[in-house]
Amino acid sequence: MNTVKIDIASQFARYPAGRYKTDGPYSGEVFRESFLIPQLKNPDTCIVVQLDGARGLASSFLEEAFGGLIRAGFNTQQLHGRLVLESKDASLIHEIEEYIGEQAESHH
C-alpha cells in the first residue's frame, strides 16, 4: 500500500479556517475535496495527515473536512487504517475521530 503524507500547514494552509467553500479559500470542504478524497479514492493508498503546524484548527473546519468524508460516501471500514492522523495534541485526534464516529452513526 502506498503511503501519502499530507502536511496541512505546508501543503494546504498555515491558517485553515471555515467550513464551506463559500466561507473562504482554506475551508474544511476545500481541504476534503482537494486533498483527502482524491487520495482516498485510490484503494491502495494510505494517507497520513500531519495536523501540527497549522494554526487554529477549529471545530467547523475539522468536522467538515473529516466528518464530511462520511457524508461524501466513505464508511468507517474504508477509512480504518487508511486515514492516519498525526499530532502532538492527542485531543485533536480524538476530536476528529468523534466527528467521523458521529457522522457514521447518523448515516446508519
Partner 1 sequence: MKRLNKKQKEKLLRRQRAIIRSRMRVRRKGQSRTVFAKRRTGGTPHPDQLRLIAPPVFDIEDKKNRRRLTRFLKDLRGHFNRHAAKRLLIDFQRTQRFVAAGTLLFYAELCRLVEYSPATQVRCNEPQNERAKQVLQQIGVYGICHHPFHGRTTHRDVVHWRVARGHLVDASQYAKTIEAHEGGLAEPLVNGIYRGLAEAMTNVCHHAYIDRRDDGLDHDGPRDWWVFSQAKDGYLYVALCDLGVGIPGTLPSTNPTLYGKLKALFGITPQDGDCIAAAIEDSRSRTGRPERGKGLGDIIRAVAGAPRGRAMVFSNRGWYTLNGGNESSGNYRDSILGTLIAWSVPVQSG
Residue 93 CB, nearest approach to partner 1 (Å): 13
The window from 1-9, 32-40, 49-57, 76-84 that contacts partner 1 (CB under 8 A) reads 49-57
- Cα R_g (the chain), whole angstroms: 13
55 binds partner 1 (CB under 8 A): yes
The DSSP letter of residue 56 is -
**Torsion from C-alpha of 90, 70, 6, 56, nearest 10 degrees:** -50
Three-class SS state of 27: coil
Number of residues that bind partner 1 (CB under 8 A): 24
Segment near partner 1 (CB under 8 A); pick from 4-12, 37-45, 57-65, 69-77 = 57-65
> Of 7, 33, 86, 95, which lies in the binding site for partner 1, with binding defined by CB under 8 A?
95
What would the x/- binding string for partner 1 be over residues 11 to 30, using CB under 8 A? --xxxxxxx--xxxxxx---
- Pick between residue 42 and residue 58 the one whose CB is nearest to partner 1: 58
Dist CA 68 CA 28 (whole Å): 9
C-alpha span between 100 and 85 (Å, rounded): 12
